[in-house]
């Protein structure tokens, strides 16, 4: 007796597997047939909030060639500017606007990201399918009440449930516009132009050229790319979701309102990341990577049980009552302004090319250098006060509720200025960190960082705005130069004269210059402070 007779269930299983294999082969043949059709694309139908949509993917080359900017929709043609691909906003067109203006200065960075980053990724785009009859009120597709008797999407069902099928994308019948993803389209179009011509023009926001280019050779040199890799980019695929410009039963005005509403909702839901959140997530920027590491491991900043957090991870500012010492964004800025003197190639290049992630060995070196900086800062008497007092008491100005020391070291803008000054002195002028921190300790013990709201302070009018009675970010670079000066880093007489004038200008409000004694003086009477010995 054979084995099959002894085990009929094995026969059934074998037959089932063989049938399943044949079904898959048939399905593969059918899919290949449908997917290779020039005028149709295989899609999956979805519905959400009463809006039908069709999801698929297309090559970057197809996306760049077939999809247009939403501002070119025929119903907006009267105010459409073909030079900028934007709508000219006036009293007539304001109610028709469905897109925020395109920012053409973003094209080159987006293109460079696609070409230069091997792990690049764009999210799916949302597009609108339109047909020529939409803008012809006499077309047969409109009934006597001005309602559409058919949709602008032509969908052929392939399954019983009507969820999978073919969408007509014939160039003769339909035009397609990017509803959400215009800047992605701009970037992909730039990529196609770069690959075709070998160069890409840089534009300003309003699409006026600034006479500079990036070239294929620039990218190959910067990112060590192979020509074969670049040639394959147009065949990469991006997710795409189609909706119709006009649904069956809609009037033209109802369709316009629906499409506009979808655009607004999509953009409202897509809240942009804060600078702090970007610093949390950025895995390419060396300064962000170093800042995150120090924020977690350094004793001055690390999270400890029984101690309130000292780093605000999201916001770029510190509220008056906040107990944090700094922000992740400030630490990232400190990292850039300090380590940027040692690793200038970590910064974006003049041509606008985003630098590669630094090598691990270089990152480790950067982390060590930044850790040493915070070791030095932690030794300042102002920061040692944190063992007994919370930051609000040290940060607040004397005139605020409950008063405070007005200590600039508890303000992110001043922290960045200190890091910038020390970075220049150490990595460009050859000073030793240990010698500089001794001087800073002396300056701190003499109250040099405190009482910034008083005229006697070097930071009055520089980091403190006496008119608005608040910290001013605009004085950061001047504060850094003053720190370099008092630490002995400026010897050139012309440079000193320029610094003295800048300090006098900063202390001049409404044509009145405040002297260090609290009295109004002539601007030329404002001198530079003593250099710390």
Q: Where along the chain do its domains lie?
A: 1-36, 39-271
How many Å apart are CA 100 and CA 123, to the nearest integer?
A: 19
Report the pLDDT averaged over residues 344-365: 78
Could you give the 3-state DSSP secondary structure of residue 380? coil
pLDDT of residue 284: 76
**Rounded to two decimals, what is the model's pTM?**
0.68
Residue-wise pLDDT tens digits, 86-142 = 545 444 443 444 445 688 988 988 998 899 888 889 999 999 999 989 888 899 999
pLDDT of residue 173: 82
pLDDT of residue 32: 72
H-helix or E-strand containing 383? helix 381-384
Task: Work out the pLDDT band at 347, boundaries 50, 70, 90.
Answer: confident
With contact defined as beta carbons under 8 Å apart, do 107 and 187 qualify? Answer: yes
Could you give the 3-state DSSP secondary structure of residue 401? coil
With a cut of 80, say whether residue 391 has pLDDT above it: yes
DSSP of 438-489: HHHHHHHHTTTTS-TTSTTSTTBTTTEETTTTEE-GGGHHHHHHHHHHHTT-
Look-up: residue for tokens 């710390």? 532
| CB contact set of 426 (below 8 Å; sequence gap of 6+) | 341, 432, 433, 436
Q: Tell me which of 497 and 387 has the higher pLDDT.
A: 497
H-helix or E-strand containing 268? helix 252-269
Could you give the 3-state DSSP secondary structure of residue 533? coil
Q: Tell me which of 428 and 282 has the higher pLDDT.
A: 428
Sheet holding 512-514, edge to edge: 508-509, 512-514, 520-521
Residue-wise pLDDT tens digits, 497-506 = 999 999 999 9
How many Å apart are CA 284 and CA 346, to the nearest integer?
A: 10
- Residue 31: closest CA among 147, 159, 151: 159
With a cut of 90, say whether residue 185 has pLDDT above it: yes
Lowest mean pLDDT among 159-168, 374-383, 449-458: 159-168
pLDDT of residue 39: 86
Q: Tell me which of 290 and 219 has the higher pLDDT.
A: 290
Q: What is the mean pLDDT of the chain?
A: 87
How many Å apart are CA 453 and CA 408, to the nearest integer?
A: 10
With a cut of 80, say whether residue 67 has pLDDT above it: yes
DSSP of 289-357: HHHHHHHHH-TTTS--TTS---EESS-SS--TT---SEEHHHHHHHHHHHHTTT-GGGSPPTT-PPPPP
Q: What are phi and psi of 444, to 5 degrees?
A: -65, -45
With contact defined as beta carbons under 8 Å apart, do 216 and 194 qualify? Answer: yes
């Amino acid at each position: 007796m054979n084995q099959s007779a002894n085990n009929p269930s094995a026969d059934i299983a074998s037959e089932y597997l063989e049938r399943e294999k044949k079904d898959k082969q048939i399905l593969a043949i059918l899919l290949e047939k449908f997917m290779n059709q020039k005028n149709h694309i295989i899609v999956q139908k979805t519905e959400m909030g009463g809006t039908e949509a069709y999801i698929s993917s297309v090559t970057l080359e197809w996306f760049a060639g077939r999809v247009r900017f939403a501002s070119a929709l025929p119903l907006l043609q009267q105010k459409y500017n073909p030079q900028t691909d934007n709508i000219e906003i006036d009293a007539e067109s304001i109610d028709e606007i469905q897109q925020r203006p395109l920012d053409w200065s973003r094209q080159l960075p987006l293109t460079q990201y696609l070409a230069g980053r091997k792990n690049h990724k764009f999210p799916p785009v949302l597009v609108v399918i339109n047909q020529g009859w939409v803008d012809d009120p006499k077309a047969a597709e409109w009934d006597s009440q001005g309602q559409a008797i058919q949709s602008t999407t032509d969908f052929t069902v392939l399954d019983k449930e009507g969820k999978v099928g073919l969408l007509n994308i014939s160039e003769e019948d339909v035009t397609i516009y990017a509803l959400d993803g215009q800047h992605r389209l701009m970037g992909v179009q730039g990529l196609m132009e770069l690959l075709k011509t070998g160069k890409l023009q840089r534009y300003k926001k309003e699409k006026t050229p600034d006479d500079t280019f990036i070239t294929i050779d620039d990218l190959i040199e910067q990112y060590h790319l192979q020509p074969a890799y670049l040639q394959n980019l147009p065949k990469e695929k991006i997710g795409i979701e189609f909706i119709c410009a006009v649904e069956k039963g809609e009037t033209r005005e109802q369709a316009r309102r629906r499409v506009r509403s979808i655009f607004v909702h999509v953009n409202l839901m897509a809240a942009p990341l804060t600078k702090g959140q970007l610093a949390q997530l950025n895995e390419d920027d060396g300064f962000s990577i170093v800042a995150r590491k120090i924020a977690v491991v350094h004793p001055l900043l690390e999270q400890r049980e029984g101690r309130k957090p000292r780093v605000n991870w999201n916001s770029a500012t510190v509220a008056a009552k906040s107990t944090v010492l700094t922000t992740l964004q400030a630490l990232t800025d400190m990292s850039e302004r300090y380590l940027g003197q040692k690793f200038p190639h970590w910064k974006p290049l003049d041509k606008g090319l985003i630098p590669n992630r630094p090598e691990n060995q270089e990152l480790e070196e950067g982390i060590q250098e930044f850790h040493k900086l915070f070791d030095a800062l932690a030794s300042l008497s102002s920061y040692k006060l944190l063992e007994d007092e919370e930051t609000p008491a040290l940060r607040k100005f004397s005139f605020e509720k409950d008063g405070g020391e007005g200590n600039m070291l508890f303000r992110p803008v001043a922290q960045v200025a200190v890091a910038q000054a020390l970075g220049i002195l150490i990595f460009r002028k050859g000073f030793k960190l240990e010698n500089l921190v001794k001087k800073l300790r002396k300056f701190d013990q003499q109250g040099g960082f405190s009482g910034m709201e008083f005229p006697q302070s070097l930071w009055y009018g520089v980091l403190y705005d006496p008119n608005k009675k608040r910290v001013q970010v605009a004085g950061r670079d001047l504060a850094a130069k003053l720190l370099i000066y008092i630490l002995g880093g400026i010897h050139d007489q012309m440079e000193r004269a320029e610094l003295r004038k800048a300090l006098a200008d900063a202390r001049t409000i409404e044509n009145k210059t405040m002297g260090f004694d609290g009295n109004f003086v002539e601007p030329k009477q404002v001198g530079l402070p003593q250099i710390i010995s």
